[in-house]
Structure 1
Amino acid sequence: MTTTLKISPIIGNSQARRAAAASFFGSMLEFYEFFIYATAASLVFGHIMFPEESDVGALLSLATFGVAYIARPLGALIFGHIGDTIGRRATLIISLIMMGTATVLIGFLPTYHQIGIAAPIVLVVLRILQGISAAGESAGSASLTIEQAPEGRRGLFGSSVTSGVAVGFVLASLVFLPIMALPEEDLLAWGWRIPFWLSSIILIVAYFIRRRIEEPEVFAESRRTGHTSKMPIVAVVRDWWRDLLRVTGACLFLAVQALMTVFALGYVPATTTITSSDMLWVWIIANAVSAVLMPVAGMLSDRYGRKPIFITGCISLAVSVFVFFNAVGTGSLLLVGLAGVLTMGVCYSFANGVYPAFFPEMFNVRVRYSGYAISLQLGLIVTGFTPTAAQSLVGVGVGPAWFLPATLGAALALVAAATAWTAKETAHLPLHELGTDRNLRLGKRRIS
């Protein structure tokens, strides 16, 4: 008995590290894809995927970015069901392959001048496939990681998901910088394709790491004892609908990321002498800082609780959005850089580093994948169209042209903070007790 107790933590930690690595690389691929598409949508697709005479090419291009977020709830239903009934591992491998394949194929897509209206149609189809697969990736990675993590360290291990996001951003930015230095003719002809092709390298690495992970013991035990849900979505809507809505609302802070990395990437060069390359460097530095601070946020949440760290991050984010856009108004690269690092490198990190543990902990193991996936993707629909909404608000009303876009971002962050305040603190609950209180209040009725 004593020997087992000494060995089990070692085995558990090994599995936890492997799960964290698998989540890290999967998230890296997801956000590498996110940012190269966002960059291409902001700077390239408006010129090559739509008619030249179109006055709304830029707006339509940004709209294709948002299309993936409409598809994500469908992906959440599909992959959530598979993940809660068959297993986390197989589901994550499928979502990884789908996401990577769609991303590489975009790099081979002919332009509007070559195949006409078929170009934007195929682009939208591939973007939808990216959205469906991303829904399975993010929820599955977080669920798997916290279920494999040692007790008392779920926040730290969960932060590996969003740390992978930050590194994926840095990697995508570094890839795009030399591409953006190309002459415009070369950039629009072939240069933009290279980042999409290079995603195949991350796909291969992530695939071989993911093949080695095992099912979390808590899920395997639930399946052995016949306690898995036959229809997880039914159980989630019936018994966890409050948490479904709660996570959906708390996810709204993620829209600030799209506001900063998609909308601002086009807005800042258009209104100041700061170039797109300058802004990429700002976001590279901010995400490098974020990659360091998110594990710190995860550790702090393990010690002090998820709610205080998450809410503090959201409120500070709401304030810093105005700081950033006010700095943009000065036209100073130094001030914009400092404000950008403060907003996305520091404030955003304290919410972003906590939510991969905080949100899935609200659901029981039998419905965790589905519950988290569906609520996350419903919230992310707002994120997908935030750049388009911000673009349409520029110059509307009184005050600086950026005031309403900044207000939009700040308001969403504050809604997320208020929603999280209503949640139950989960940091110090044992893994097997997460999400069980709902069933106890319902008379322990069997989940469908």
Structure 2
Amino acid sequence: MTASTLDAPSAGPADTTKVKRAAIASFLGSMLEYYDFYIYASASALVFGKVFFSKADPAMGTLLALATFGVAYIARPVGAVLLGHVGDRVGRKRVMLLTLVLMGMSTFLIGCLPTYAAVGVFAPALLVVLRVLQGISAAGEQSGANTLTLEHAPFGRRAFFTSWTLTGTQAGFILATVVFLAVAGLPDQTLLSWGWRVPFWCSLIVVALAYIVRRRIDEPEVFQAEQQTRQVAKLPVVELFRTHAADVSRVLLCAFIAVCSTVFSVFGLAFATSHEVGLSKTTMLLVAVSANVLALVTQPTLAVLADRIGRRPVFITGVLGCAVMIFVYFKAIMSGNVPLIFLAALVLIGFCYSAPNAVWPSFYAEMFDTRVRFSGIAIGTQIGFAAAGFAPTIAWTLIGNSRTNWLPVAAMVAVCCAISALSAATARETYRVPLTELGKRH
């Protein structure tokens, strides 16, 4: 098969063997890698303020711990440039293997760090260094998986197959939260001494399994064709900004929707379990798990819808739904009504947020051609995700001394959703465009 016939509409059934293998590898790899990422989120909200910033008062300790969560998002754009270059020049598969090893080792080492009580300021300094390595790894993970799966996918099913990358991240969130639930119920002294370390140590097993799966995937034919004809860009980042600068900006602004995710999963957990609000850690962790379990079903379903009616309608509808439901969610938390909290979370994450989450792997990737696709997704998303990384820290500052003033936080999320929706509305609809025509200027 030549590059010119790839992903063209066909009357016969497409061979989906390779794309199924790529989708499974992307799902498992993302699940296992984001297990590592999300256990850090849970620990920063519940533990790290007391372990690494014990000299600060509790509120300031939580703020500093949430700031270390955001540090990775500063490193992500740097990782996006470096890993995007390698992915577009050398291959998607090699980057996906590298990101797994880097994330796994840095996560395991976080679990081995001494506390502030043992070594003073060296403890949080080492934590920040390892968090930076996590950020670099995450910068290439989703971009590589999305690019590889999209380039294997048959015409008319690209959103469905690429959605499994983000469904893998939801599964990673569930796995991380379930593991953290097991240790969160320990007595405080046990949790703060060694209990919090166990989920981080488990990452070695996780990464070994993912590495075995990813070694079996193939490079996409469309990328191999460019290598054979020597059409691979020598400097993908330079080529990207020469030909697709507007698309990079568009992806960057669309990616502001991720603020909803980090405010829900990180700030929401710290806020709801604070002394002033008083909900239990177990309850809020179960709320997050339930919402993401529902997303495992709704995301592939919404991706099928995007393959039938287009990327923009599904993406924009979900984003605007998030802008409304974030107010409902925090109102439910303040009411203390646990069934209402569960219901609000299910609608917010299981339905509304699942729509852009299901669509963006194909929506963003289809804005770029093969020569710069990896770099385009990586750089655009990771710069945009920086807002999401620091959203919990900003949100914690916005609530002020009352610690219950959630309205400014919900308003911040709603503004980010509006920016994301407006940016998506300016994008070209690509669900009926063949693979080799994506990113071309007409």
TM-score (norm 1): 0.94
Is the 8 Å Cα contact of residues 95 and 144 (structure 2) preserved in structure 1?
yes
Match in the other structure for 2:86: 82
User: Which residue identity does 1:303 align to in structure 2?
Assistant: R
Match in the other structure for 1:445: none
Q: Report the Cα offset of residue 30 of structure 1.
A: 2.9
Q: 1:149 aligns with which of 131, 150, 153?
A: 153
**CA displacement, residues 73-97 of structure 1 (integer Å, 9 cap, x when unaligned):** 0100110000000011111111111
Match in the other structure for 1:34: 37
Is the 8 Å Cα contact of residues 33 and 207 (structure 2) preserved in structure 1?
no
Match in the other structure for 1:244: 248
Is the 8 Å Cα contact of residues 286 and 341 (structure 1) preserved in structure 2?
yes
Q: What is the CA–CA distance in structure 1 between the aligned matches of 2:361 and 2:157, rounded to whole Å?
A: 12
Alignment of 1:39-50 (within 5 A): 39-50=42-53
Q: 1:427 aligns with which of 425, 431, 435?
A: 431
Q: What is the CA–CA distance in structure 2 between the aligned matches of 1:327 and 1:279, rounded to whole Å?
A: 12
Q: Report the Cα offset of residue 396 of structure 1.
A: 8.0
Q: What is the CA–CA distance in structure 2 between the aligned matches of 1:29 and 1:408, rounded to whole Å?
A: 31
**CA displacement, residues 124-169 of structure 1 (integer Å, 9 cap, x when unaligned):** 0100000001101110010001111111100000110111011111
Q: 2:72 aligns with which of 63, 68, 75?
A: 68
User: Which residue identity does 1:18 align to in structure 2?
Assistant: R
Q: Report the Cα offset of residue 178 of structure 1.
A: 1.6
The secondary structure found in structure 2 opposite 1:423 is: coil
Match in the other structure for 1:406: 410
Match in the other structure for 2:296: 291
* 1:331 is aligned to 2:336: yes
Is the 8 Å Cα contact of residues 49 and 111 (structure 1) preserved in structure 2?
yes
Q: What is the CA–CA distance in structure 2 between the aligned matches of 1:361 and 1:96, rounded to whole Å?
A: 25
**CA displacement, residues 325-345 of structure 1 (integer Å, 9 cap, x when unaligned):** 111121111111110111011
Q: 1:15 aligns with which of 15, 18, 31?
A: 18
User: Which residue identity does 1:95 align to in structure 2?
Assistant: T
Q: What is the CA–CA distance in structure 2 between the aligned matches of 1:233 and 1:224, rounded to whole Å?
A: 21
Q: Report the Cα offset of residue 204 of structure 1.
A: 1.2
Q: Report the Cα offset of residue 201 of structure 1.
A: 2.1
**CA displacement, residues 304-355 of structure 1 (integer Å, 9 cap, x when unaligned):** 0000000000001111101111111211111111101110111100111110
CA, structure 1 residues 53+62, in 2 after alignment: closer, same or farther (shift >3 Å)?
closer
Is the 8 Å Cα contact of residues 306 and 354 (structure 1) preserved in structure 2?
yes
The secondary structure found in structure 2 opposite 1:365 is: coil
Q: What is the CA–CA distance in structure 1 between the aligned matches of 2:14 and 2:107, rounded to whole Å?
A: 36
Percent of matched pairs sharing the same residue: 45
Is the 8 Å Cα contact of residues 12 and 149 (structure 1) preserved in structure 2?
no
CA, structure 1 residues 119+10, in 2 after alignment: closer, same or farther (shift >3 Å)?
farther
Relative to structure 2, which stretch is displaced further, 263-272 or 39-48? 263-272
Match in the other structure for 1:218: 222
User: Which residue identity does 2:142 align to in structure 1?
Assistant: S
Match in the other structure for 1:444: none
* 1:92 is aligned to 2:113: no
Q: Report the Cα offset of residue 48 of structure 1.
A: 1.0
Is the 8 Å Cα contact of residues 396 and 404 (structure 1) preserved in structure 2?
no
Q: What is the CA–CA distance in structure 2 between the aligned matches of 1:79 and 1:12, rounded to whole Å?
A: 30
Q: 2:368 aligns with which of 354, 357, 363?
A: 363
Is the 8 Å Cα contact of residues 37 and 134 (structure 2) preserved in structure 1?
no
Match in the other structure for 1:118: 122
Q: What is the CA–CA distance in structure 2 between the aligned matches of 1:328 and 1:261, rounded to whole Å?
A: 13
Match in the other structure for 1:391: 396
Alignment of 1:156-175 (within 5 A): 156-175=160-179
User: Which residue identity does 2:29 align to in structure 1?
Assistant: G
* 1:278 is aligned to 2:283: yes
**CA displacement, residues 239-292 of structure 1 (integer Å, 9 cap, x when unaligned):** 100000000000000110000110010111224342111011111110000010
User: Which residue identity does 2:128 align to in structure 1?
Assistant: V
Q: Report the Cα offset of residue 53 of structure 1.
A: 4.2
How many residues of Structure 1 are paired with residues of Structure 2 in the alignment?
Answer: 433
How large is the RMSD of aligned CA atoms in angstroms? 1.9
Q: What is the CA–CA distance in structure 1 between the aligned matches of 2:72 and 2:154, rounded to whole Å?
A: 34
Match in the other structure for 2:137: 133
Q: Report the Cα offset of residue 422 of structure 1.
A: 0.2
Is the 8 Å Cα contact of residues 263 and 395 (structure 2) preserved in structure 1?
yes
User: Which residue identity does 2:135 align to in structure 1?
Assistant: G
User: Which residue identity does 1:29 align to in structure 2?
Assistant: L
Match in the other structure for 2:5: none
* 1:354 is aligned to 2:359: yes
* 1:302 is aligned to 2:307: yes
**CA displacement, residues 383-434 of structure 1 (integer Å, 9 cap, x when unaligned):** 000000111111489x971100011111111110110000000111101110
Q: Report the Cα offset of residue 33 of structure 1.
A: 1.8
CA, structure 1 residues 198+11, in 2 after alignment: closer, same or farther (shift >3 Å)?
farther
Q: What is the CA–CA distance in structure 1 between the aligned matches of 2:21 and 2:182, rounded to whole Å?
A: 33
